[in-house]
Amino acid sequence: MNGTAGIRKVIAASSVGTMIEWYDFYIFGMLAKTISTQFFPEGNATAALLSTLAIFAAGFIVRPFGALVFGRLGDLIGRKYTFLLTLVLMGGSTFLIGCVPNYKTIGIAAPLLVLMLRLIQGLALGGEYGGAATYVAEHAPKGKRGFYTSWIQTTATLGLFIALAVIMLVKLNMPDERFNAEWGGWRWPFWISIVLVGISIYIRLKMKESPLFAALKKEGNTSTNPLKESFRHRSNFKMVLLALFGAVMGQGVIWYTGQFYAQNFLETKCNIEFEQSRTIMLWAIAFATPFFVFFGWLSDKIGRKWIMMAGMLLGVLLYRPIFQTFLNNTNVKEAITVENMDFRNNRLVKKVNDTTLIVADSYTLYPPLSQLGNDEIKESLVVHLKKGSISTHEIHLGKKLYWKFILLVWLMIVFVTMVYGPIAAFLVELFPTKIRYTSMSLPYHIGNGVFGGLVPFIGLLLTTSFPADPLVGLWYPIGVAALCFVIGTIYLRNKIDRNVND
Amino acid sequence: MMNSIKKYLGIIWLLLGPALIYFLVSGAIQNIDPTGKKDINNPVIWIIIIAIFTPIAIGLMIFGWYAFKGGYNQLPENSRVIGE
């Protein structure tokens, strides 16, 4: 096994590449609204958004197939070269998504190309995670596997963080029209990715093969057919099913609800303005990320099972109260009048109470308010209010509410760290070396790709179909997590397998 | 006692699989409507969801079967045992 310096290099090399792959994957979801207008015919906005989310889901649904293809490669030829390949595929397809002309220019070819590239992203990601977690775990010393693999567990959230930050930086430094133009700023996060991927490839080329796999290969004990050994041997297939239904299924929905669904809910249901909805997530992620490592470390001491089950149970019990709080605190109904309305920083604002401002959309008003004096603004507003050309647009939270929302999102991300921090070590310990890459990748990507990835898609479907209850979309993650909690509590064992050298 | 719970819950998982498929298919039959305007009326959505969740429901049934047959009463002590 490597010394401390050696294992740190291994973690850094694995983590950087994995984080970039997550970034590549998430910028698509973050820009779903913009992408839907670029690549789908104008018309029903919900249908376009749903179509984009379907493509988003397609990227998730193919992940299990990527897990099979690259898992098999990784068990046949080694971890290092396989996840070099996944990085190249992910980076290339991400860059190319940024190069596809929009629907108005090339018609139906546009969404078809984007869909194909999105599927390649999903396949690549399906191969990435299993390799990275396996690679780190097979270098980690006994008794510290949870701690060391938890660094890999931070990469998905850090990739999300970087995706949010990059998109925000680009969007806030140019006018909306330029950001949303056909070849506008929204493409920049895709193009930036090729630089990040290039750096990751350079780092990974310098890595050595996993010592366990190298030893296995030297002894001639690699698997000739890891797929068959993973899924046709009953004893192994049983563990694949248990890993899925007792752990990863619940972990997947908790992961996506606490991060993706929360961000989308704040923006679309609470109508919080773009910048705040993103910075709330950024702060919450920044404060919660250390807990991945904490719970990975803790799982080495007390076992993996109960930490993961606790995270699921907390989500089941607290999601509805938390999201109801978001709604209650932003449910501000106030008639818009000229009194107490201010024109500030090119926006019309109305202070409703000490903590919440309603921002009225003034960009389409003519003459532009920025060209008018204060008295002229008031006269103009009276006219526009009579015509009905001003309406409540977005909400800007006051300081107290802003930090309350950060606290609540942070709490949900702590649930994520509880279910996700220990899970890499948990999965690695379930399976023997020669089929580990294949066997752990499939349940991981079904749990996260299928169950988790469909949270926004099914959530939107439920809320558009049952509009009376804005929280109806939560029943899907709550139900799945509850089922997984029951199965995991009863069937999983808390004992840690100290030795993965087999 | 725990093994009995595992075993009899296996029956629940065995039944939950077909129940899920039934729920999805009947939901599709009730809600698919070419003239409907809601997304839940769109057959494509239902085809995707049924296609994705049917193999998972079958997996849940297999899990239930293994549980009922006592396959999870004693989990392997280490991964070497699984690979044998």
> Which strands form A341-344's sheet, in the order they lie side by side?
A341-344, A347-351, A356-360, A392-397
Is some CB atom of chain A closer than 8 A to the CB atom of B5? yes
The CATH class, in words, for A4-227+234-331+399-491 is: mainly alpha
- Between A178 and A434, residue with greater pLDDT: A178
Question: Which residues in chain B are closer than 8 Å to A235, comparing Cβ atoms?
Answer: 76, 81-82, 84
For chain A, the structural domain boundaries read: 4-227+234-331+399-491, 341-390
pLDDT tens profile A20-66: 888 887 888 778 778 878 887 667 655 565 576 566 666 777 888 88
Report the length, in residues, of chain A: 502
> How many other β-carbons are positioned within 10 Å of the β-carbon of residue A234?
11
State yes or no: pLDDT of A294 exceeds 50.
yes
Q: Which of A46, A224, A241, A448 to mutate to test the interface with B (most CBs of B within 10 A)?
A: A241
Residue A279 pLDDT > 80: yes
The pLDDT score that the predictor gives to residue A284 is: 94
Three-state DSSP class for residue A497: coil
Is the Cβ of A487 closer than 8 Å to some Cβ of chain B?
Answer: yes
Residue B84 banded pLDDT, cuts 50, 70, 90? very low
Shortest Cα distance from A151 to chain B (angstroms)? 23
Owner of token pair 């310990």: A429
Q: Does A464 touch chain B (CB under 8 A)?
A: yes
Average pLDDT over chain A reads 81
Q: Which of B13, B39, B78 sits opposite A499 (nearest CB)?
A: B78
Residues of B in contact with A446 (CB under 8 A): 56
Q: Does B65 touch chain A (CB under 8 A)?
A: no
Number of A:B CB contacts under 8 A? 84
Taking residues A90-109, report their average pLDDT: 88
Question: ipTM, 2 decimals?
Answer: 0.90
Q: Contact A242/B59, CB-based, under 8 Å?
A: no
Q: Chain A partners of B59 at a C-beta cutoff of 8 Å? A: 241, 244-245
pLDDT in tens, B13-52: 999 999 999 988 888 888 888 777 666 777 777 887 888 8
DSSP E strands in A289-391: the ranges are 341-344, 347-351, 356-360
How much is the pLDDT for A224? 57
Whether the CB of A461 is below 8 Å from some CB of chain B: the reply is yes
Average pLDDT over residues A269-297: 91
Confidence of residue A435 (pLDDT cuts 50, 70, 90): low
Q: Do A244 and B75 touch (CB under 8 A)?
A: no
SS3 A350: strand
Residue B75 touches chain A, beta carbons under 8 Å = yes
List of residues 6+ apart from A156 with CB closer than 8 A: A18, A19, A22, A255, A420
Answer whether A432 sits within 8 Å of B38, measured CB to CB: no
Taking Cα atoms as reference points, which of A455, A444, A461 lies closest to residue A412? A455
What is the distance in angstroms between the Cα of A240 and the nearest Cα belonging to chain B? 10
Give percent of chain A above pLDDT 70. Answer: 79
Assess whether the previous peptide bond of A141 is cis (omega < 30° from 0). no
A354 falls in which pLDDT band (50, 70, 90)?
Answer: low
Q: What is the pLDDT of residue A1?
A: 42
Asked if B45 has any chain A CB less than 8 Å from its own CB, the reply is yes
Contact B62/A241, CB-based, under 8 Å? yes
C-alpha A482: how far from chain center: 21
Please tell me whether the overall predicted TM-score, pTM, comes out greater than 0.90 for this model: no
A295 pLDDT higher than 70: yes
With cut-offs at 50, 70 and 90, classify the pLDDT of residue A220.
Answer: low
Q: Which two tokens stand for residue B67?
A: 């549980």
Share of chain A above pLDDT 90, in %: 25
Q: What are A306-316's pLDDT values in tens digits?
A: 999 999 999 99
DSSP tag of A342? E
Using the predicted structure, report yes or no on whether residue B83 has a pLDDT greater than 60.
no
Q: Name the residue among A239, A149, A230, A254 with its Cα closest to residue A484.
A: A254
**pLDDT of the residue at A479:** 95
Please report the sign of the dihedral spanned by the C-alpha atoms of residue A22, residue A138, residue A491, residue A314.
negative
A221 interfacial to chain B (CB closer than 8 Å):
no
